[in-house]
Amino acid sequence: MRHGALILAAAVLGAAHSAWAANVGLIKIEGAIGPATASYIARAIEVSSERKDVCLIIELDTPGGLLESTKEIVQSFYAARVPTVVFVSPTGASAGSAGVFITMAADIAAMSPHTSIGAAHPVSIGGGGGAEKTDDVMKQKMQSYASSFIESIADKRNRNVEWARSAVIDSVATTAEKALELNVIDLIASDVADLLNQIDGREVGERTLQTAGAEILAIPMIAREKVFQLIWRPEVMFILMLVAIYGIIGELSNPGAIFPGVVGAIALILVLYMSSILPVNIAGFALIALAIALFIADVFTPTHGVLTVGGIIAFLLGALMLFNRGEPGFRLSLAYILPGAIITAAFFAFVVGAGLRAQLMPVKVGRETMVGQTVKALARIDGRSGKVFIEGEYWNAVSEAPIEAGQLVEVTGVEGLTLKVKPKQT
């Protein structure tokens, strides 16, 4: 009887073990860390928790990202009801800048051989609050905040606080092998399968992980997250900025088109919103605005293209400075900047120039063309009545000074169907 009870208990424990070791969640994060990344990780943690996964593995390869999004990810890790494992992988991957904070904040931090981690200086992280901060006092405050933030992370996870601080203050970086020696990470694994074998039996809080033989279930991005991941890129913001310029300026130079103005206004609103998130530099915006002013000025002044050349130079410099160059994840490629400058210059030279010149041309048809013309009075003209024949039509005419029939008169204005005239001085 006692032997049977032991067998039953073992069976129950074995079934519980099998149920616990059933699934492991897996997501992959590549590229810059931004709002879409933070949203994706938070949702993945929730999904993994609801289906009672053993843990959630975040396979990471990032040059860095936004500090605000990094903070959201760290907070998601702290509040997670499922153990989080950050795995810097594959070989050759890196956890730079914001990636350092994310890796060290996980319950378990792992790296593949020949990967790297480090260089988390706050200038490289990007503030996500608009213009790049160049003031020494502000930079010092950012550095102080970032260092205290990463120290608190390292202390909470019992990792090397001193190294974490130096990663921010001195932009220290290291290899996976050295990071293991320094207690920056917990282990080195060749792949996900090796990682699962190594973390099997580890304790996370009050939970013992049973990952050996667990089934790996990927949690893909949903459509909304893919769209946001695509939108929150410097290239997209740059293109939207060009659309805003072309649309609004095109509408102003060709009034009544409506569609370009609507598209341009929508693009402008999106640019303003994105500029509050992405690490942009106000000096870059100023130079691009100067370039537009030079392009427009060249339409009105006979400079033989000198202002256009200046506008192209200002546009190139502005585009290069538009985003924080210290952050690899948010650099704008020359493959976008050069075509953008050429297309913009051509747009102002041909489309805008033609539209503005057309608006400034003298009127060639219509009532306005009669003003200033000289004709003969067909009948006596006074302040109440009179007749003239002009441009193939008979017109009523009035004059402050009496004019006799046959006398030459000059048209001075048009009011409805009546011309204002005066005696022609010979």
Give the tens place of pLDDT for each residue, 327-361: 556 677 788 888 888 888 777 777 665 555 555 55
Average pLDDT over residues 396-422: 84
Tabulate helix, strand, coil % of the chain (nearest 5).
Answer: 50, 20, 30
Spatial distance between the Cα atoms of 180 and 53, rounded to a whole number of angstroms: 27
| Residue 313 pLDDT exceeds 70 | yes
The distance of Cα 183 from the centroid of its chain, to the nearest Å, equals 36
Average pLDDT over residues 257-278: 82
* Residue 177 CB neighbours (<10 A): 13
The contacts found for 285-291 with CB under 8 angstroms, 24 or more apart, are 285/318, 285/322, 286/318, 287/314, 287/315, 287/317, 287/318, 287/321, 288/241, 288/314, 288/315, 288/318, 288/319, 288/322, 289/318, 290/314, 290/318, 291/315, 291/318, 291/344
| Residue 119 pLDDT exceeds 50 | yes
Say if CB 332 and CB 318 are below 8 A apart.
no
Q: Give the position of tokens 């300026």.
A: 249
pTM: 0.68
- Identify the helix (H) or strand (E) that includes residue 394: strand 393-398
Average pLDDT over residues 283-305: 79
Higher pLDDT, 387 or 46: 46
Q: Looking at residue 6, what is its pLDDT?
A: 45
At residue 311 the predicted structure's pLDDT band, cuts being 50, 70 and 90, is confident
Spatial distance between the Cα atoms of 163 and 48, rounded to a whole number of angstroms: 31
| Residue 18 pLDDT exceeds 50 | no
Q: Looking at residue 65, what is its pLDDT?
A: 83
b vs e for 40-54, b when ≥16 Cβ sit within 10 Å of the residue's Cβ? bbbbbbbbbeeeebb
CATH second-level architecture of 367-423?
Beta Barrel (2.40)
Q: For 15-152, where are the E strands, in sequence order?
A: 23-30, 56-61, 84-88, 94-96, 108-111, 116-118
At residue 90 the predicted structure's pLDDT band, cuts being 50, 70 and 90, is very high
The distance of Cα 299 from the centroid of its chain, to the nearest Å, equals 31
At residue 19 the predicted structure's pLDDT band, cuts being 50, 70 and 90, is very low
Spatial distance between the Cα atoms of 307 and 336, rounded to a whole number of angstroms: 22
Domain boundaries, the chain: 19-227, 233-360, 367-423
Residue type, 401: A
Q: By mean pLDDT, which of 218-227, 277-286, 312-321 is the weakest?
A: 277-286
At residue 126 the predicted structure's pLDDT band, cuts being 50, 70 and 90, is very low
Sign for the CA dihedral angle at 267, 269, 272, 274 comes to negative
CATH of 19-227, one of 3.30.70.20, 3.40.50.1000, 3.90.226.10, 3.40.50.300: 3.90.226.10
At residue 303 the predicted structure's pLDDT band, cuts being 50, 70 and 90, is low
Comparing CA positions, the residue from 335, 314, 312, 309 lying closest to residue 239 is: 335
Q: Looking at residue 366, what is its pLDDT?
A: 56
- Give residue 324's region: left, alpha or beta (phi > 0; psi -120 to 50): beta
| Residue 283 pLDDT exceeds 80 | yes
* Residue 174 CB neighbours (<10 A): 19
Q: For 223-331, where are the E strands, in sequence order?
A: none
- Mean of the per-residue pLDDT values of the chain: 82
| Residue 416 pLDDT exceeds 80 | no
| Residue 20 pLDDT exceeds 60 | no
Which tokens belong to 340? 């953008």
Q: Looking at residue 93, what is its pLDDT?
A: 95
Spatial distance between the Cα atoms of 295 and 346, rounded to a whole number of angstroms: 10
Higher pLDDT, 226 or 256: 226
Average pLDDT over residues 391-407: 82
Average pLDDT over residues 183-189: 96
